[in-house]
Structure 1
């Protein structure tokens, strides 16, 4: 049985104060490092135009590339070195959807679950998600991409603004768990047919809404180096424990610990 993690790999520029560095990114990229350690039976499927980007993954043998005619590009700018909770983002908003036909011949025969990581509204058409629901396995979905819209154009990129998505209710119906941050939680309207809603809030911790609400304290990190990918790391750590029948609270506490470890490093966990 295999956990299938799907979403774009990105070419990113991270700017922290006066420092800047280019790196590989994307939720699926960050999560692969966590699954490589805590849930080894996984397969990452990424969409991009540059297959060399997978060389930065922890195990390129566990990555399959859906070649497209573009690659997601993000600028993650942290203007205040002493407060890395504040981030300014821009993106090229690549239109490179993952289609059912892209997946049909590369999915494994036996699947534990799906982890879906859209970075904008183009990545996962509703038809693709309905196809994945037909496997009748747990689906864990980060909703951030569905809320992103292009804002002001800056050179070849656009600032990112967040807004509700009318099709979101249908997309999320029947999904096992959704992952979002507090800003995104303030935008979505109403309750969804999901078992768990995991809401992160940077250094203020997280909360998990299921039958009730469980608050998870952030694990303190004395030397925060880079917060990019921290939420993706949390998501993967949480899923790795929930799939092994660990409780919601214990999974959240474990995820908080692993996310704190990621904060100490440039790049991945």
Structure 2
């Protein structure tokens, strides 16, 4: 029985920024950023990853295995290939999907057990409602909503509403959204707190709203916790910040932190991650130093 099992596709990412106009290629995806973030924290929770990739990412899977991270790779004919393009404002990006991976099935996941399943969806068909409902009978469900709000048309990614949201959110214990996703999810509600209340009314007890460089809001137990954004020394790459936030938040909650403590811990991890390309590579002392 894992404390925390992350299920999601590790991806081939191409990241383009004003400082890197030609782009760099690297691994990515929720499962990738969460795995490395947890790896760099004390190894005092039982954590694992389930992913599905093509042969092109076998070297990345081997790196993760060699680091001692418990990872299961379910073979897929191809990997997810994302192109992420950022402007001067790191809170804005455009995306293209150049290839997709096979979705996860109940049959593939029947032997996995965890107290918390974190579903890192990247595209709308990654994890079906049936799979979410199946896993919710085994443990708590945390969902990063991003993939359920992405429609791919001619390789370009467009925001859409999520037709199965009321069904899936009934089985969801923790939902992670950003300020743009929560507006799409609640049919245009611009008041963040009111939007969080709407999601709570759909059956989600814990709503995490990241606001980019402006911090985050956690809505739980009918109370709003406003978490500051800690300024980084420099801003290099925001890719994976939302995943790093969720990793830190779940780690801290599993370790007994309250909502506000977990939010601050997660925010400090994001600050360290922003300062370089790739996943979080800091340590718990650096995280605590930022909070203090």
Same fold (TM over 0.5): yes
Q: Which residue of 2 aligns with 1:198?
A: 208
Counterpart mapping for 1:13-92 below 5 A: 13-17=14-18, 18-36=21-39, 37-38=41-42, 40-50=45-55, 51-57=58-64, 59=67, 61-80=69-88, 83-92=89-98
| CA offsets 1:182-236 (integer angstroms, 9 cap, x no match) | 0000011343211111011111111111212111110101211111001100010
- Cα pair distance change 1:96/1:10, threshold 3 Å: same
- Unpaired runs of 5+ residues, structure 2, are 187-197, 281-292
Q: Does residue 216 in structure 1 map to residue 227 in structure 2?
A: yes
Structure 1 SS opposite 2:166:
helix
Q: Which residue of 1 aligns with 2:263?
A: 252
| CA offsets 1:18-70 (integer angstroms, 9 cap, x no match) | 24110000011001122222454111000111233313437355110011112
Q: Which residue of 2 aligns with 1:166?
A: 163
> Does structure 2 retain, via aligned residues, the 8 Å contact 1:95–1:122?
no
> Does structure 2 retain, via aligned residues, the 8 Å contact 1:93–1:150?
no
| CA offsets 1:73-122 (integer angstroms, 9 cap, x no match) | 10011132xx32221111136251100111124x25xx222111110111
Count of aligned residue pairs for this structure pair = 258
Q: TM-score by structure 2 length?
A: 0.84
Residue 172 of structure 1 and its aligned partner are, at CA, apart by 1.4
Q: Which residue of 2 aligns with 1:144?
A: 146
> How far apart, CA to CA, are the structure 2 residues paired with 1:69 and 1:243?
35
> How far apart, CA to CA, are the structure 1 residues paired with 2:207 and 2:96?
26
Structure 2 SS opposite 1:187:
helix
Which segments of structure 1 move beyond 3 Å, counting only runs of 4 or more?
none
> Does structure 1 retain, via aligned residues, the 8 Å contact 2:214–2:229?
yes
Structure 2 SS opposite 1:208:
strand
- Unpaired runs of 5+ residues, structure 1, are none
Residue 244 of structure 1 and its aligned partner are, at CA, apart by 2.1
Task: Kindly indicate which of the two structures has a greater share of residues assigned to helix.
Answer: 2
Q: TM-score by structure 1 length?
A: 0.91
Structure 2 SS opposite 1:245:
coil
Q: Which residue of 1 aligns with 2:172?
A: 175
- Cα pair distance change 1:207/1:227, threshold 3 Å: same
Counterpart mapping for 1:229-244 below 5 A: 229-244=240-255
Q: Which residue of 1 aligns with 2:108?
A: 102
